[in-house]
A and B are shown apart, each in its own frame.
Chain A
């Protein structure tokens, strides 16, 4: 299974951009990078995913390096409600089946006033 490495915790000031890094050096060619977040004791919330190209939606942007060994999730203007645990997941058939998500410990993002 492709493993991901994320910092344990990060801080961000409200209104500033939050940049959350993720290393996935063993990713295979057909594996996607997914980001979810979990606000205390709620179900994980899907944020964004990508294969090779950078992606943007109403919640965030995902920047994937050209060699695909790492990526960065960007929350452009963090708010207090973005305080959560953010999970970077590599997903694909090589990971054990498309619908078997393997969660790591994630990054605990604290947004402060």
Chain B
């Protein structure tokens, strides 16, 4: 069974731009969660989507948003990029609620 895939793997943007990252969950998984990892803050939860609805949200500004499609694939968007948004963005999927999450390889975003 294929794992969680994320595209692109690497991305370079400049301040003020916006970016969209994509995540394809494991087949049959309906929950997709997003995390941000930086050297200073570690791994932090961004939000979770289940059946195309945001079910849970972390403490991030409104510049960070996401959505989920009917096939469970998810995208996250960051608008008006700041230097501090440089991070590894990780996506994790699970079947439903109380189930193990499996992570993708991440997208490394660099903001110049």
Say what secondary structure dominates the interface of chain B. strand
| Residues of A bordering B, CB below 8 Å | 32, 34, 36, 41-46, 49, 87, 92-93, 96-105
Nearest Cβ distance between residue B28 and chain A, in whole angstroms? 15
Residues in chain A near residue B103, CB distance under 8 A: 36, 43-46
Stretch at the interface among B42-50, B66-74, B77-85: B42-50
Say what secondary structure dominates the interface of chain A. loop
- Give bound CA distance, A93 to B104, whole Å: 23
How many B residues have CB within 8 A of the partner chain? 28
| Residues of B bordering A, CB below 8 Å | 4, 31, 33, 35, 42-45, 48, 50, 55-56, 58, 88, 90, 92, 94, 97-106, 108
A32, A45, A99, A102: which contacts B55 (Cβ < 8 A)? A99
Residues in chain A near residue B44, CB distance under 8 A: 103
Asked if A46 meets B106 with Cβ closer than 8 Å, knowing A41-B88, A105-B42, the reply is no
Nearest Cβ distance between residue A5 and chain B, in whole angstroms? 15
Closest 6 CB pairs of A and B: A43-B103, A103-B43, A97-B56, A98-B98, A98-B97, A99-B48
